[in-house]
Amino acid sequence: MATTGTVDKATLADLQKAMIGRAVIKDTDMNPEMQGEVQDVIVSGIENNSAQRLNVEAAAKYIKENLDRKFGPSWHCILGEGYACDLHMQEKTMMYMFYNGKIAVIVFKA
């Protein structure tokens, strides 16, 4: 059976259901210990600011402030769906991940 590289809507919906409550790191240059700590902060920020609907501003602020406190300033957080960016950052401080299969998060230190 040949595949065309496209995903039908039913398969995409099943994948999104399977991703609920899951964080998947897409790319990072952090050491493994730091990855776990940063991922925990990101998940906490999203879950603590998602009563009925995600409050993107509050979640990003929570993540940034907690990373600043834990690892020193100056952290940045980009969070949402459907965006593009070009970044310059310190080495070993970048993480790009997805939460619930559709919320993309990039954190980095500049």
pLDDT (tens digit, 9 = 90+) per residue, 58-108? 999 999 999 999 999 999 999 998 888 888 889 999 999 999 878 999 999
Domains and CATH numbers, the chain: 23-109 (3.30.740.10)
Residue 31 to residue 34: CA distance in whole angstroms: 6
Q: Please give the C-alpha separations between residue 83 and each of 5, 28, 78, in angstroms, as whole numbers.
A: 22, 18, 9
pLDDT the model gives residue 2: 45
Report the chain's mean pLDDT, rounded to a whole number: 85
How are the residues of the chain apportioned to helix, strand and coil, as percentages rounded to the nearest 5?
40, 20, 40
Other C-beta atoms closer than 10 Å to the C-beta of 95 total: 20
pLDDT band at 41 (very low <50, low <70, confident <90, very high): very high
pTM check: above 0.85:
no
